[in-house]
Amino acid sequence: MRTNVAVIGGGPAGMLLSEILHRHGIKSMVIERQSRDHVLGRIRAGVLEPTTVDVLRTNGLAERMGREGLPHDGMKIVWAGRESFFIDVKQHLGKRFMTYGQTNIQEDLFAAADRRGAAVLSEAQDVQLMNVSSEHPFVKFRLNGEMQQLDCDFIAGCDGFHGVSRASIPRDVRREFEKVYPFGWLGVLSKTPPLPDITYCNHPRGFALASMRNPQLSRYYIQVPVDTRIEDWPDERFWTELKLRYPQELADAIVTGPSVEKSIAPLRSFVTEPMQYGRLFLAGDSAHIVPPTGAKGLNLAVSDVFYLARALEAFYARGTTELLDSYSQTALRRVWSSVRISWYLTTLLHRFPGASEFEQRAQEYELEYVRSSHHAQVALAETYAGLPLEEAE
């Protein structure tokens, strides 16, 4: 088999890249380890930055999002015993976010791929990236028990944090930056009307978050210790704990109901540099992970893919490699901005086990500063919204 770009991973990064390349007449084949049902069953992101909405719209992927997504203007922060405040991104930057589930985006991407008869191979096993530093890379994998080989010009490593692509960059070329947090998030999806705003909460019992998917579907999270077992958290215990963390008027407004999904995610910041080696380019979670506190992971996958697709278009249209050569540097500027804000919000809003009294007070006064300073709110709005995409030089 032969294609222009072999795309490893059929998550949002891989499927979006394949779609944009197709719109520019560039052939690709997506090789995914899991079944389509498995990929669609993962409940993850929900908050789309203005830039992500633009990229989806420009590429004909916003029709259903326009109908079913919930635009919103920013986020609310509440904390025990103090006045809440709203980071108004619309007011400060004139931009709006969209609440639209990653599952829906994934469905829209599969639907678009089916319409164009795209080459998406599911349940591929033992995927191996070969000769990535040469001009003739190829991918080996097992499909229905038989070994296959896909020759290509480039490989896009879109296979998430646990994929094989990052590990195909030699250890002495790669530099990794990592921070693991001493807690996780227990998330619940329920068919109940959400609170009106995405509301982040700092409380002595731990962080909590109220979010939404649509007017009848809510998403809530609470901070839990890393070794938490999901079996120990029946719905009733979850709702009781969630309500204990929110101020009374919000706790009273939370509508509870049976959970339709429940999962635990550990929190980690991770970046690998560079995001390129020879003819292999990493995009999305394969290159970086952020704690979900900034709602940045999916949005970064989209901006990486935007830059990578643009660089590949320039190569196929004009034979130029400048944008490919600068891909890693360009993508990393936006990555680090989001890594920083995700780390900052995580530090600001969670209770860290073993924090000293000094650290606790410093956190309270940081919150107090953001609450009371117009300038701090504008700065937070700017980074929470995500940097604008850079023009090609």
For the annotated catalytic residues, the residue numbers are: 72, 200, 292, 296, 384
* Site residue total, ligand PHB (CB under 6 A): 10
Inter-residue contact 313 to 26 (CB < 8 Å): yes
Q: Could you tell me if residue 100 is left (phi over 0), alpha (psi between -120 and 50 degrees) or otherwise beta?
A: beta
Consecutive H or E run containing 12: helix 12-23
328, 377, 12: which is closest to 20 by C-alpha? 12
Q: Which of residues 201-240 bind ligand PHB (CB under 6 A)?
A: 209, 211, 219
Helix pair 322-349, 374-385: axis angle to 10 deg = 130
Taking the least distance from each CB to ligand RFL, the nearer of 344 and 371 is: 344
* Interaction between residue 282 and ligand RFL (CB under 6 A): no
Write the interaction track for ligand PHB spanning residues 33-72; mark x where CB under 6 A is met and - where it is not. ------------xxx-------------------------
Q: Which of residues 272-331 bind ligand PHB (CB under 6 A)?
A: 292-293, 295
CB atoms within 10 A of CB 216: 11
Q: Which of 200, 297, 312, 313 binds ligand RFL (CB under 6 A)?
A: 297
Q: Which of residues 160-179 bind ligand RFL (CB under 6 A)?
A: 160, 162-164
Partner from ligand RFL, ligand PHB, none contacting 184, C-beta within 5 to 8 A by type: none
Taking the least distance from each CB to ligand PHB, the nearer of 209 and 250 is: 209
Taking the complex as a whole, the smallest distance from the CB of residue 318 to ligand RFL amounts, in Å, to: 28
Q: Which of 51, 269, 299, 330 binds ligand RFL (CB under 6 A)?
A: 299
* Site residue total, ligand RFL (CB under 6 A): 37
Locus of tokens 């591929």: 124
Name the strands in the sheet holding 288-289, side by side, starting at the edge strand that comes first in the sequence: 85-88, 74-79, 199-202, 208-214, 217-224, 175-190, 259-273, 288-289
DSSP 161: T
CB atoms within 10 A of CB 76: 18
Query: Which residues would be at the binding site for ligand PHB (CB under 6 A)?
Result: 45-47, 198, 209, 211, 219, 292-293, 295
